[in-house]
Structure formats: structure tokens, C-alpha cells
Amino acid sequence: PAPSNSAAPRYKPPATETNPALEDPTPDYMNLLGMVFSMCGLMLKLKWCAWIAVYCSFISFANSRSSEDTKQMMSSFMLSISAVVMSYLQNPQPMSPPW
């Protein structure tokens, strides 16, 4: 059947994500986790917390949808970087491994 070039109504794509529950929750969880870890790292002066926060914010960024706000991503990223920097300024000793 030939394609209809007549004035048959052509539709715009409907909202592709009508059900937000179906979306992958990973970026949101990772964002939250990253913020929690960076706060822990800042308050408790734990270096490994701050490093994990950096990783979390990277993972959240990699999994994010394009509709997501870049400002949110950047803020969590900057928070984790600042947690790392602050931990090292307060205590320049290198991190000791847990074993």
C-alpha cells in the first residue's frame, strides 16, 4: 500500500514517558546517594566517603536521561568534588586502605 500523502492527520509523537514509574530509577538513586556520601565525607571527615560520592555522581551522570536538568547533575558533582578537596585540606595524609 502506498503511503498516504493526503491530508490524513499526521501525529506528533505522544509523550513517550507517560508513566514515570516505568523509568529507570538509577540516576535519581545515585544522585541521592552521592549527596549523602558527600555530606558524610564533609561532616565526618572521611576521605573514602568523599571518593565514593564522586563515583556516585559520575554514575548518575552516565545514566541520566536527556530531559534531566544539567544543573542538578553539576551541583551534585561539584558537591562531591568539594567534599574530596575539603577532606584533603583538613587532613593531607593519604587515605589508608581498610585492610
If the CB atoms of residues 44 and 95 are measured against other proteins, the closer one turns out to be 95
Which amino acid, residue 24? Answer: D
Three-state DSSP at 23 gives coil
If the CB atoms of residues 39 and 59 are measured against other proteins, the closer one turns out to be 59
The 10 Å Cβ neighbour count of residue 39 is 16
CA dist., res. 40 & res. 57, Å (int): 15
Report, in Å, the least distance between residue 43 CB and other proteins: 19
If the CB atoms of residues 25 and 70 are measured against other proteins, the closer one turns out to be 70
Report, in Å, the least distance between residue 24 CB and other proteins: 9
